Structure 1
Amino acid sequence: MTTELTLFSAFIAGLVGSVHCIGMCGGIVGLLTMSLPDNVRQSYLRLIPYLLTYNIGRISSYIIAGVLMGFLGAQFSQMLPLENPRVVAMWVSGLFMIALGLYIGAWWQALTVLEKGGSYLWRKIEPLGRRFLPVKHPLQALGLGLVWGWLPCGLVYAILVFALTSNSAWNGGLLMLAFGLGTLPMLLTMGATAQWFTQFAQKLIVRRIAGFVVILFGLMIFLPHHH
């Protein structure tokens, strides 16, 4: 499995999967923008520093989680009596990518089990985020992003499994960075654009197309690659 394909898959999963994120993260971005002073909210130029710092915080949390998962995966694969742990890792990440596509397309909601598990941890972290509200400064938005990056989300968890199979802390961090960058366009525009965009992105046909794209990437992982 080439690293480029894996990183590109993570980026595409972030890009098309952020359609699904709108329901969850959209509320948070709404909360962030609604707590800002009127003069900031009414000007997209003034809003940009807040949206950028919030998203830098969120993606930083993804990278930290990816580094941890990559490191744990590398340690774990050394302990397993497998001849080629990379092949096993490839199969696991491919299958997870397909599950992720089915989840985004609303065909199969198995990843909600992961979200339920994560919600226990989230109950411990969530009160920290409230300390940064109402947001009056971009640094507070950064802090809010760092905390809200741990919000339980099947999409994030699926890419974290990807990171777990990446075989190193560095690769795990890179994967989550690629995924985070993929989610940026949707979350940056959402902080500023009207409600119609959210409604469009949540249409079943849009989710199905996005899910189908991610499934294709999952299947591509199983194709033989030439190094």
Structure 2
Amino acid sequence: MSYLYFAFFMGLFGSIHCAVMCGPLLLAVQGNQELTWTIALNKVLYQVGRILTYGIFGVALGLVGQLASIQGWQVGLSLFTGIILLLIGLIQLFKIKNQGFTKLQMRFVQPVAKLMGRWLYRPGGSFFAGVLNGILPCGMLYMAAAAAMNTSSSLTSFYFMIMFGLGTLPLLLVFSFLGNFIRTYFKMNFSKWLPFIYILMGIWFLLRGANLDIPYLSPLLHMDGAINCHII
């Protein structure tokens, strides 16, 4: 399976978590108004802004991966990524709380959310609100970013993050338009599964860095460069 297909399905299944966590932000685009073509367009522009931010992240992350590839650090980068994801998964699984990290995260989120509120109801402001939404902390985004950083070029990383964003789009649009109606029937607590996804992703990156020459699971990473990620 292409790395980009993997990105799309990662976003598609991860959007369950995103829809639950970001539900209030999605509904805020409409407020208490009746749905009109203008509001519908604003909802779409909001999502476009969010996905564009993911793509910009992809370019930056790809440069890191490209540097690692040139320097022959791709194996080490994959192993490091796997260890970090595994640790995050175990911390969440055993509910090890870090008050310092939580406070730091809230200090970042609050001003961004406040700025989003300022833009949200301005003409065309939903696009900029979506751009800001793309930088909010998110567990699934962290995993996508880790995968994007392990690609072979900034262009591939850009495509990876765009495909991840497009994968999240269907369910988030459904939540955005149907809002409270679908939330009444959508009670799956996806958050409890997130630590296991972190752990699985961590194991996958560790296997990838182990250079076992197993197709898809642990492909051969040459020391002089990263595995080629075909865009098909």
- TM-score if structure 2 supplies the norm length? 0.69
Residue 34 in structure 1 maps to residue 31 in structure 2:
yes
Greater shift after overlay, 175-184 or 120-129?
120-129
Distance 1:163 1:118 in 2: 22
- TM-score if structure 1 supplies the norm length? 0.70
Superposed displacement of residue 185, structure 1: 0.7
Matches within 5 A, 1:43-54: 47-54=39-46
Which of the numbers 103, 118, 124 marks the counterpart of 1:131? 118
Which of the numbers 170, 177, 200 marks the counterpart of 1:192? 177
Counterpart secondary structure, 1:38: coil
Asked if the contact 1:99/1:111 (under 8 Å) is kept, the reply is no
Residue 12 in structure 1 maps to residue 4 in structure 2:
no
CA 1:66–1:12 in 2, change beyond 3 Å: closer, same or farther?
A: same
RMSD of equivalent CA atoms? 3.7
**What amino acid sits opposite 1:132 in the alignment?**
W
Superposed displacement of residue 145, structure 1: 0.6
Asked if the contact 2:46/2:128 (under 8 Å) is kept, the reply is yes
Counterpart secondary structure, 2:29: helix
Distance 1:66 1:169 in 2: 7
The CA deviation string for residues 99-134 of structure 1, in whole angstroms up to 9 with x for no partner, is 78x59xx74668999776554444453443232132
Equivalent residue number for residue 86 of structure 1: 74
Matches within 5 A, 1:1-227: 4-5=2-3, 7-34=4-31, 37-38=33-34, 40=36, 47-75=39-67, 78=70, 84-92=72-80, 107=93, 118-135=105-122, 137=123, 139-195=124-180, 197-204=182-189, 222=207, 223-225=217-219
* Percent identity of equivalent pairs: 25
Asked if the contact 1:30/1:191 (under 8 Å) is kept, the reply is yes
The CA deviation string for residues 145-181 of structure 1, in whole angstroms up to 9 with x for no partner, is 1111111112212211222222422122112111101
Asked if the contact 2:27/2:179 (under 8 Å) is kept, the reply is no
Distance 2:111 2:39 in 1: 29
Distance 1:145 1:17 in 2: 18
Distance 2:22 2:101 in 1: 17
CA 1:209–1:196 in 2, change beyond 3 Å: closer, same or farther?
A: farther
Counterpart secondary structure, 1:33: coil
CA 1:191–1:39 in 2, change beyond 3 Å: closer, same or farther?
A: closer
Superposed displacement of residue 9, structure 1: 2.4
The CA deviation string for residues 39-83 of structure 1, in whole angstroms up to 9 with x for no partner, is 52xxxx55431221110001011111121122134335655xxxx
Distance 1:93 1:122 in 2: 24
Q: How many residues align?
A: 209
Instruction: Give the gaps of 5 or more residues in structure 1.
Output: none
Asked if the contact 2:62/2:158 (under 8 Å) is kept, the reply is yes
CA 1:133–1:225 in 2, change beyond 3 Å: closer, same or farther?
A: closer
